[in-house]
Amino acid sequence: MIISKDFRYHVRKKDQIHFEVKIKNARYIGEATKFGILSRSEATTCLKILVIDFSIVAIEMICGLLESAGRFLFRSPDSHQKTKLLLEQLKRKKNSKNLDARLLAQLDNAIYCCNPPTEVHREVEKRPTLHEYIHRLLYDLLSKRTVAFVLKQFRKMNWKDVEIREYIIDALSAGYNVKFSVVHCAASVLAGISEYHEEEAIEIVDNILEDIKATMEFPDPKFNQRRLIQVSTLLSILLKPEN
């Protein structure tokens, strides 16, 4: 066909003068394949020629062809196996050649268009309803205006239930999970709780001190912000800010 002859002409010509024309030709082959103007076997043959060549111009043409019809060729039963083998060969050549970052990114994107990785659906941990409510109180509702309300809700909880008690202690001990702008509000809630549950408040302060000590023993920069927030929480608790 005329398309194939034109393609072979552009591959043979190694000049950079008609660079854009060559890429357009590769894209045109891809579109023609999807519309049935060009057979899938001819398209995969064109791709094979480019993979064998693997010059800079050939790489640009490969990207154009794969981006326009790579997925179509990969998913079609009669061209799947050949396309799969060509993609594997393309990956090997990509890894063995010392290509610049731009060409590497283009090739990665073109390969991804053909065969995107299978999505792994992570199962979101479903917390008990009361745990969700505690999260909402501390991480969504807590603000300077809602301190009294949040404190009241914590006081209403069943502190005699060991599971609920432990979860509240863990949540209030992890001040780094609270927005920095409301750290002092969380401290106010804890100060209010200490009037009714002194032992639990002491345990929370001990947990915060242990966390600060642990992050200082492992001087990793990723702990800097966490340590700063925990220190701020501790200072706010010791100062016992007004609700």
- Would you list the domain boundaries of the chain? 2-114, 129-239
What's the Cα-to-Cα distance from 50 to each of 100, 103, 171, 199, 201, rounded to whole Å?
Answer: 18, 15, 58, 73, 70
Distance CA 6, CA 2 (A): 6
Rounded to an integer, the average pLDDT of 10-33 is 83
Distance CA 215, CA 237 (A): 20
Task: Residue 22: count other Cβ atoms within 10 Å of its Cβ.
Answer: 23
Rounded to an integer, the average pLDDT of 59-64 is 92
Average pLDDT along the chain: 86
Confidence class for position 242, pLDDT limits 50, 70, 90: very low
- pLDDT(114) > 70: yes
Task: Round to the nearest angstrom and report the end-to-end CA distance of the chain.
Answer: 82
Which class in CATH covers the domain with range 129-239?
A: mainly alpha
Confidence class for position 120, pLDDT limits 50, 70, 90: low
Rounded to an integer, the average pLDDT of 231-242 is 71
* CB 136 within 8 Å of CB 191: no
Rounded to an integer, the average pLDDT of 24-39 is 90
Crossing angle of helices 2-12 and 56-75, rounded to 10°: 150
Can you give the pTM of this predicted structure? 0.50
Distance CA 77, CA 182 (A): 58
Rounded to an integer, the average pLDDT of 47-65 is 91
For residues 126-153, one letter each, b for 16 or more C-beta atoms within 10 angstroms of the residue's C-beta and e for the rest, the string is: eeeeebeebeebbeeebeeebbeebbeb
Confidence class for position 15, pLDDT limits 50, 70, 90: low
